[in-house]
Structure 1
Amino acid sequence: MSDSDLQDAVIAAGSAIEQAVAVFMLHPETYGGSVAAGFENPLAGYVAGRGGVLGEASGTTVAAVFAVFEPTGLAAMWDEGVAVRGAAGAAQVYWEQTAEFGRKYLGDADGVDRLAALGEKVIAATPIAGLPLFAGWREMALADDAPARALQVMFVLRELRAGVHFGGLALAGIAPIEAHMLNKGPRYAAMFGWPEPYPDGADKRDRYDEVEQATNRRMTEILTAALEPAEVTELARLSTAALTSLKANVPG
């Protein structure tokens, strides 16, 4: 397998994992589960749930780690969310929601047990320096059943790539709102709480592309340190299959 083919497999796995976890995070069923768990504002449940592994931190600290959200609004949602169950309690609720979503919608996906096993090898072998959310989530106990475990493993891998990417953006001097505009545009900027007018960041396009390339290089290093080339390709195939299964099974 050529270096280019290997990196293409890493990119494919990362894209499928990001999209699959986003299906869970953004689904009305997940928001409803947060409300049922006592979070009157489901977005506060998301922020406290995803950030809860950071412990009883300040909203400012959590906003810095989340990186791409408008920080004042994010901090307010954190404070609202942790007031319900505390940081650890919110994280546990979100983790159980992740497991249940996988259990419900990944049961017929191809090779979810193997997907989980490959992902766990990557998680165990990856240094945690500079990756606080990844470090926190990899300490959480995984579900025993394969569909639930697979989505939880994908969740942790998503935090891994996000942490690598966010670090690269910060080093390149690309502001979060500029990254949104260079990536998915104003709709995503609004979704992450940023107010208009939006700087388009056009003068940093080359830098943004370089960060994306550096992220892919680093993720290739990480995956190939843990997996054989054939296993990287297998992870990409199984992640893509899991995403296809979610899209087919999850109600719109």
Structure 2
Amino acid sequence: MADHGTDTARELGRTLYDTAGSFMLAPPTAAKAEELGFPDPLQLYVAGRLGVLGDTTPEVAATAHGFLAPGAAAQLWPAVGKVCSRETAARTFAEACAEYGEEKLGGLDEATAGRLADLATAVVDAAPGTPLFAAWRAMPRPGAPRARAAHALNLLREWRGGVHVAAVTAAGLTPVEAIMSDGGEFYAEAFGWPKPWPEAGSRSAEMAEVSAAVDAACGRVVEAALTEDEAQELLAGARAAGPLLP
């Protein structure tokens, strides 16, 4: 493999980007949201995922997220902070990830899960920080192998997500242009963007360049952190974990 870093980063993005974050709106996480007093699980997603930033402003929260509409953040961020503290929301979100991993990754033996966590963590710890990723990287890490694997895979996701946000900004695209050229109407609505939206796919060419830039940037870190054999081992673990997580 001539460039094992970029190839690994590209496949990790395809394999894990959705599945590593599947705990965020899963039924057990929704139950935790209800226990805390959130009427909508999406509110714990905002409060928990962004809660690691502390009591910051709606603008900072939206910017760190990358795709949350400023108007939505202005309403939602103060509201979710009244339900519980930012620290409680972030801790609950992290617990939801760990517990989801313990349950869903039961098909992996502890040695395999632990090795997957070790390899993912090696990349995570070598990566340059972006705001939300760096805040999550500073959170306490679980000790149990399957929980640790789920946490590490989510950190990989946050890392790639932060690089993606930076690449979209560098390409001169607005968040809603990127969404409509990649995620589509579901995310435009979920993240609070008012209509009219840009035409679907109108920035697809630019988004293809963004994806290539993200793969290359993440790939340089992977190549520095892992040997080619270790990168293949990480991919094998991710391929085994991915189908178990939805």
Contact 1:115 1:235 survives alignment (8 Å): yes
Q: Which residue of 2 aligns with 1:72?
A: 71
Q: Supply the distance in 2 between the matched residues of 1:238 and 1:164 (Cα, whole angstroms).
A: 23
Deviation for aligned residue 1:207: 2.1
Deviation for aligned residue 1:202: 5.1
Q: Supply the distance in 2 between the matched residues of 1:35 and 1:78 (Cα, whole angstroms).
A: 17
Partner of 1:106: helix, strand, or coil? helix
Q: Supply the distance in 2 between the matched residues of 1:189 and 1:28 (Cα, whole angstroms).
A: 23
**Pair 1:227–1:75, CA change in 2 (3 A):** farther
Q: Which residue of 2 aligns with 1:165?
A: 164
* Per-residue CA distance 1:42-84 (angstroms, 9 max, x = gap): 2221111101111110112101111112221133222122222
Contact 1:109 1:242 survives alignment (8 Å): yes
Which runs of no fewer than 5 residues in structure 1 stay unpaired?
248-252
**TM-score using structure 2 length:** 0.92
Q: Which residue of 2 aligns with 1:101?
A: 100
Partner of 2:203: helix, strand, or coil? helix
The alignment covers a number of residue pairs equal to 244
Q: Say which is worse superposed, 20-29 or 89-98, in terms of deviation.
A: 20-29
Q: Which residue of 2 aligns with 1:219?
A: 218
Contact 1:69 1:193 survives alignment (8 Å): yes
Q: Which residue of 2 aligns with 1:61?
A: 60
Q: Say which is worse superposed, 162-171 or 5-14, in terms of deviation.
A: 5-14
Contact 2:21 2:157 survives alignment (8 Å): no
Residue type at the aligned position of 1:2: A
> What are the equivalent positions in structure 2 for 1:5-44 lying under 5 Å apart?
6-44=5-43
Q: Which residue of 1 aligns with 2:141?
A: 142
Whether 1:229 and 2:228 are equivalent positions in the alignment is: yes
Deviation for aligned residue 1:102: 0.7
**TM-score using structure 1 length:** 0.90
* Per-residue CA distance 1:207-251 (angstroms, 9 max, x = gap): 22111110000010011111111111211221121111224xxxx
Contact 2:164 2:210 survives alignment (8 Å): yes
Q: Supply the distance in 2 between the matched residues of 1:133 and 1:176 (Cα, whole angstroms).
A: 16
Partner of 1:127: helix, strand, or coil? coil
Q: Which residue of 1 aligns with 2:126?
A: 125
Which runs of no fewer than 5 residues in structure 2 stay unpaired?
none
